[in-house]
Amino acid sequence: PAVEFDLEAPFTVEYHDAVGSTNEVARERATDGATDVVVLADEQTGGRGRLEREWSSPAGGVWLSIVTRPAITPARAPLYTLAAAVATTRAVREGGVDARIKWPNDVVIPVGEDGAYRKLAGILTEMEGETDRVEWLTVGIGVNANLDADGLPEGATTIRDEAGEDVDRRVFVQRLLEEFDDARSDLDGVVPAWRELALTLGQRVRVDRSSSELVGEAVDITDSGALVVQSDESGERETVAAGDCEHLRP
Ligand code: BTN
């Protein structure tokens, strides 16, 4: 059933009580030619995370996937993922919770001053297209909203645990989609907005690359969203386009 949302952003929201993965449903909509459709579910039975991980998605969270057909080259697609991280972080912050971004697109809550964090939300983007043109792009966003961290994987937190109360999920989704629409309408503003919200910059990090690992200080992200690390080993600034990073204790 389609749910009425009072949205300023141009999305049609398709609601499900339970699905395997909203990214799967979004892929079907995308291959059918849809755009600006949001697939939202109360529960996912086969939620997927980045790097082939499972994503625990019990009822009470916000699990959604946005179907878009942006007029961009695949090289700019990572900006859509960063835009989703910025939008999700802003929507959480508007609810009074101090969310920040861990590179590339985890929404986290800082714990103390030394870069430690708990993870609140994650983003999984999928895309189809040619070398010069994106055909469709789906952005899957999972937010641990009205849940207890107890039942979730180690290191996770929830809006309920952080705010001490549940969030109105309709209001939250509305804020998130409006923030996402603003961010994607100004792709050049995404990286500056990301920098402002970043927890990773200034941290000591370890980044796994396919052949080796890189340890050093995270100093910036590039205009396309790659992480720039001042490497301990080489003493040079090295750039990592994709992967996972770990914050190290100073
Ligand atoms: C990650 O941090 O590993 C990304 C997690 C992405 C989870 C969301 S929930 C909605 C959408 N459907 C999925 O199966 N995954 C994404």
Would the pLDDT of 162 be above 80?
yes
Residue 3 lies in a domain: no
Residue 57 lies in a domain: yes
Q: Is the CB of 88 under 6 A from ligand 1?
A: no
User: What is the pLDDT at residue 243?
Assistant: 85
Residue 210 lies in a domain: yes
**Residues near 101 by beta carbon (within 8 Å), at least 6 away in sequence:** 85, 86, 89, 107, 108, 194, 197, 198, 199, 200
End position of a domain, from candidates 178, 197, 216: 197
Q: Is the CB of 49 under 6 A from ligand 1?
A: yes
Q: Which residue range(s) make up the domain with 99?
A: 12-197
Q: Where does residue 238 rank: exposed (0-12), middle (13-18), buried (19+ CB within 10 A)?
A: middle
Same domain, 35 and 159: yes
Residue 7 lies in a domain: no
Same domain, 31 and 56: yes
Instruction: State in Å: Cα 5 to ligand 1 middle.
Output: 22
Tell me the CATH number at 79.
3.30.930.10
Same domain, 114 and 27: yes
Q: Is the CB of 48 under 6 A from ligand 1?
A: yes
Would the pLDDT of 41 be above 80?
yes
| Closest-lying ligand 1 atom to the alpha carbon of residue 44 | 14
Mean pLDDT of 199-216: 91
Same domain, 62 and 95: yes
User: What is the pLDDT at residue 209?
Assistant: 83
Mean pLDDT of the chain: 94
Same domain, 66 and 176: yes
Same domain, 150 and 211: no
Atom 7 of ligand 1: nearest residue by CA position: 142
Would the pLDDT of 144 be above 90?
yes
Residue 185 lies in a domain: yes
Mean pLDDT of 234-242: 93
Quote the tokens at residue 196: 């402002």
Residue 5 lies in a domain: no
Structural contact between residues 192 and 220, judged by C-beta atoms closer than 8 angstroms? no
Rounded CA-CA distance 165/129 in Å is 42
- Number of domains observed in the structure of the chain: 2
Residue 6 lies in a domain: no
Same domain, 181 and 209: no
Same domain, 163 and 234: no
Return the SS3 of 134: strand
Atom 8 of ligand 1: nearest residue by CA position: 142
Instruction: State in Å: Cα 135 to ligand 1 middle.
Output: 21
Instruction: State in Å: Cα 245 to ligand 1 middle.
Output: 18
* 72-90 burial: b if 16+ Cβ within 10 Å, else e: bebebbbbbbbbbbbbbbb
Same domain, 233 and 167: no
The model's pLDDT over 180-205, given as tens digits with 9 standing for 90+, comes to: 999 999 999 999 999 999 999 999 99
Same domain, 141 and 218: no
The model's pLDDT over 46-88, given as tens digits with 9 standing for 90+, comes to: 999 998 899 999 999 999 999 999 999 998 999 999 999 999 9
Alpha helices per DSSP H over the chain = 22-31, 77-94, 159-163, 169-185, 190-197
User: What is the pLDDT at residue 202?
Assistant: 95
User: What is the pLDDT at residue 3?
Assistant: 66
Same domain, 124 and 236: no
Rounded CA-CA distance 144/36 in Å is 23
The model's pLDDT over 114-126, given as tens digits with 9 standing for 90+, comes to: 899 999 999 999 9
Residue 4 lies in a domain: no
Tell me the CATH number at 243.
2.30.30.100
User: What is the pLDDT at residue 114?
Assistant: 87
Rounded CA-CA distance 193/189 in Å is 6
Q: Is the CB of 140 under 6 A from ligand 1?
A: yes
Instruction: State in Å: Cα 47 to ligand 1 middle.
Output: 6
User: What is the pLDDT at residue 208?
Assistant: 87
pLDDT interval class at 2 (50, 70, 90): low
Same domain, 127 and 167: yes
